[in-house]
């Protein structure tokens, strides 16, 4: 009996190792180590991070906080190439940025869909932590739908719908790939939140539109409400009455934001925005487009068991 259990454990370990090895072999050529040219208080200051090739002709995806507003730097690949790159565009709200390396025939990574991830699913992180290029770690999806506060100057911005993983991340992993078991990039590693806790920006239909705008226009023009929130199931009687399963629980309201001016409070449960049902942060993000800037937006929410109607006027995120 004991021998059979040991054999089963070996087979499970071998299968796990085979998956991680296959993902690493597929993605390592696509992940670059970035050296970033910056200035700090008027003086040159180099930074570092990771990036993922997404087109053969030099477009790389990374984290906005890695590249900042610096003009460029260099990208080193596993095949020994070191290519100069220039910043194409950055979007602090999603913490995503696109740079373009001066090279061709790069091996692009395949982008996946984080909306299909499930808690407990195997993920593999590839990046360049602490200066060690081509590092691979693995873990599971610990949670979905997290919010990550970020700061740009004096403004607090909130990255929504973040993936939480226990794959080991360290400084330098930011901008690197978080991949599923098939080697598809489902997230861009963005932060180390504590021991055994890493966060990644999801790759899905919302971020695909962000990437398209960054590549074509160099910026993303978007509306801003100023809340941090996550999906929360509705009580069964309310779910039956509204004919939806969940809403967006408001966890934080940014001071001075349109959400605060409209009267939103932590604990509110938003169920409808602009006449459309919302069940998670991704639903709200899809509505925060350029056309919503400056236009009154109706909000339906639950507060203390009562349905409340509010109106907010989103501003342009700057």
- In degrees and rounded to multiples of 5, residue 89 shows phi and psi of -175, 155
Dist CA 48 CA 36 (whole Å): 6
298 is catalytic: no
Please state the rounded mean pLDDT for residues 169-187.
91
- pTM for this prediction: 0.74
94 is catalytic: no
Residue with tokens 């990550």: 148
What is the architecture, at CATH level 2, of domain 223-316? Roll (2.30)
The rounded mean pLDDT for the chain is 87
How is the chain split into domains, by residue range? 114-217, 223-316
- CATH topology (fold) of 114-217: Thrombin, subunit H (2.40.10)
Using 50, 70 and 90 to split pLDDT, how confident is the model at 212?
A: very high
Residues in the chain: 318
From the candidates 30, 33, 135, 174, which is the catalytic residue? 174
Dist CA 260 CA 198 (whole Å): 30
pLDDT tens digits for 119-155?
999 999 999 876 677 889 999 999 998 877 765 554 5
SS3 290: helix
Across 137-146, 166-175, 293-302, least confident range: 166-175
Dist CA 16 CA 9 (whole Å): 11
Please state the rounded mean pLDDT for residues 306-312.
96
Please tell me which of 6-10, 66-70, 152-156 the model is most confident about, judged by mean pLDDT: 66-70
Half-sphere exposure of residue 282: CA atoms within 13 angstroms, side-chain side? 19
pLDDT at 154 (0 to 100) = 46
Across 6-10, 144-148, 204-208, least confident range: 6-10
In the predicted model, is pLDDT for residue 43 greater than 70? no
Q: Which two tokens stand for residue 68?
A: 């900042």
From the candidates 50, 65, 135, 180, which is the catalytic residue? 65
Strands 269-273 and 297-303 turn out to be antiparallel
CA trace torsion 248, 251, 256, 260 (10° rounding): 50
In the predicted model, is pLDDT for residue 156 greater than 60? no
Quote the DSSP letter at residue 263: T
Return the closest-CA partner of residue 91 out of 179, 217, 4: 217
pLDDT tens digits for 243-269?
999 999 999 999 999 999 999 999 999
CB 53 within 8 A of CB 60: yes
CA trace torsion 102, 107, 113, 119 (10° rounding): -110
Using 50, 70 and 90 to split pLDDT, how confident is the model at 70?
A: confident
Return the closest-CA partner of residue 210 out of 42, 98, 56: 98
65 is catalytic: yes
pLDDT tens digits for 97-127?
999 999 889 999 999 999 999 999 999 999 9
From the candidates 95, 180, 268, 283, which is the catalytic residue? 95
In the predicted model, is pLDDT for residue 223 greater than 70? yes
Across 21-25, 194-198, 274-278, 310-314, least confident range: 194-198
């Amino acid at each position: 009996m004991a021998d059979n259990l040991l054999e089963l454990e070996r087979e499970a370990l071998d299968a796990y190792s085979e998956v991680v090895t296959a993902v690493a072999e597929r993605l390592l050529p696509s992940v670059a180590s970035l050296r970033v040219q910056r200035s700090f208080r008027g003086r040159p200051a180099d930074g570092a991070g990771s990036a993922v090739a997404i087109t053969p002709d030099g477009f790389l995806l990374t984290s906005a906080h890695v590249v900042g507003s610096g003009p460029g730097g260099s990208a080193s690949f596993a095949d020994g190439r070191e290519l100069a790159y220039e910043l194409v565009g950055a979007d602090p709200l999603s913490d995503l940025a696109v740079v373009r390396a001066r090279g061709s025939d790069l091996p692009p990574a395949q982008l996946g869909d984080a909306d299909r991830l499930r808690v407990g699913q195997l993920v593999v992180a590839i990046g360049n932590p602490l200066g060690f290029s081509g590092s691979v770690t693995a873990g599971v999806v610990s949670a979905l739908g997290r919010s990550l506060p970020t700061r740009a100057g004096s403004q607090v911005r909130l990255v929504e719908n973040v993936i939480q993983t226990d794959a080991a991340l360290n400084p330098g992993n930011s901008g690197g790939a978080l991949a599923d078991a098939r080697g598809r990039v489902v997230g861009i590693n963005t932060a180390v939140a504590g021991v055994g806790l890493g966060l990644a920006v999801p790759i899905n239909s919302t971020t695909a539109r962000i990437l398209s705008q960054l590549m074509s226009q160099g910026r993303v023009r978007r509306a801003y409400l100023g809340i941090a929130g996550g999906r929360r199931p509705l009580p069964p009687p309310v779910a039956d009455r509204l004919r939806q399963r969940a809403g967006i629980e408001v966890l934080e309201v940014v001071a001075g934001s349109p959400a605060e001016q409209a009267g939103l409070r932590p604990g509110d449960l938003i169920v409808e925005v602009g006449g459309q049902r919302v069940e998670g942060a991704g639903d709200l993000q899809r509505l925060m487009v350029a056309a919503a800037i400056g236009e009154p937006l109706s909000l339906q929410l639950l507060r203390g068991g009562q349905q409340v109607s509010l109106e907010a006027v989103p501003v342009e995120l700057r």
